[in-house]
Amino acid sequence: MADDNNYGATPTLDEIVFENRNKQYGAYQLRTLYPKVLTRSFILGTILFLVAALTPFVILKLKEMNQAQKQEVDANLIEIIEEDVIIEQPIEEEPPPPPPPPVEEEQIEVIQNVVPEPKKAPVVETPPPPISKQLETQTGLVAQEGVKTPTYTPPPPPPSTGTKAATIEAPKPVVDQKKVYDDVEQLAEFPGGINAFRNKVGSNFDVESMEGEGSVSTEITFVVERDGSITDVKATGPNRNFNQEAERTIKSIRNKWTPAKINGQSVRYRFRMPLKMNFQ
């Protein structure tokens, strides 16, 4: 035992720690070989770092060596012949075309019914009966029939020589209260315009349900009823979740529309609107 504990003049730290212990155990050997392993690891790591750092420079140098030699071109100056200057002749301005002849408006002859001024009927003088007949006239209470004066009858109006322009009204289209129209005279309108409707859709859309979907698009169709309400909302697009959320958003908007009109009457109108959103 005395020989095992007999170390040199300056024992190492490992010898002091493992004094009177089993040195055949692996820990003693690991601590003894640790400096050699650390030195080898440092040298090997340095070599690998230098190889990784110098490899791009070596590859670049090899490429430069393998490049074809540049050919020198003798660039002698050549006398350049000046081109003749082309003088453009001024283009004569064409006289402006004569103004179109004035359109003569169709004159409509207006014929007035002129009633001729009535003329006094000529006085027909009846000679008095002879005296012998006057003596036979009886007086009394019996009514006597006198001489009748002819009454004046105005002549008929002259026949018209012209024709009045008759105004023919076009037949008004029949409006079906149950039919859904795609073409109308006056379009349905949201209060504030279509941009206000798009802002409503964007503010009521549930963005959290579509996170990570990217750019999604669809086409929404719905019917604006005669009272301004919205029915039959449908979204046709490749993303099913986006279609369902778009339909829910459109149905949640309670604002009344101004209905479409044909011939001044409110009709049912099918409205189409494309919708595209980006979800990051």
Contacts of 276 (CB under 8 A, 6+ apart): 215, 216, 217, 218
pLDDT of 142? 46
Hey, which residues does 235 pair with through a beta bridge?
Answer: 220
pLDDT given for residue 23 in this prediction: 66
Q: Output the tens digit of pLDDT for each of the chain's 280 residues.
A: 444 455 456 777 767 777 666 666 667 677 777 788 889 899 999 999 999 999 998 999 888 888 766 666 665 656 666 776 777 777 777 778 888 888 777 766 655 555 556 655 555 556 655 555 544 544 444 455 555 555 556 667 666 555 444 455 566 667 888 888 988 888 999 998 989 999 988 888 888 877 777 888 899 999 999 999 999 999 998 888 889 989 999 999 888 999 999 988 899 999 998 988 887 7
Apex 92 CA angle, 88 and 98, nearest 5: 155
Nearest to 253 by CA among 192, 210, 212: 192
- Residue 88: per-residue pLDDT: 72
Tokens of 175: 């409006």
> Cα angle vertex 57, ends 52, 59, to 5°?
90
Phi and psi at residue 236, to the nearest 5°? -115, 105
CATH of domain 180-279: 3.30.1150
Residue 225's pLDDT is: 92
Rounded Cα–Cα distance for residues 232 and 222 (Å): 5
| Residue 5: count of CB within 10 angstroms of its CB | 10
Dihedral angle sign, alpha carbons of residues 29, 31, 34, 35: negative
Q: Which residues contact 109 (CB under 8 A, 6 or more apart)?
A: 162, 163, 164
Sketch the domain layout of the chain as residue ranges.
Answer: 1-62, 180-279
CA distance linking residue 248 with residue 234, whole number of Å: 10
Is 199 within 8 Å of 275 (Cβ atoms)? no
260: enclosing H helix or E strand = strand 260-262
| Helix axis angle, 240-252 to 194-204, nearest 10° | 120
The pLDDT assigned to 257 comes to 92
Helix (H, G, I), strand (E, B) or coil at 181: strand
For residues 237 and 234, give the distance between their C-alpha atoms in angstroms, rounded to a whole number.
10
* 258 closest CA partner among 176, 191, 197, 162: 191
The Cα–Cα gap between 154 and 116 comes to 8
What residues contact 121, with CB distance under 8 A and at least 6 apart? 150, 152
pLDDT at 139: 45
Whole-angstrom distance, CA of residue 203 vs CA of residue 252: 11
CA 115 to chain centroid, in Å, comes to 65
**pLDDT given at position 63:** 87
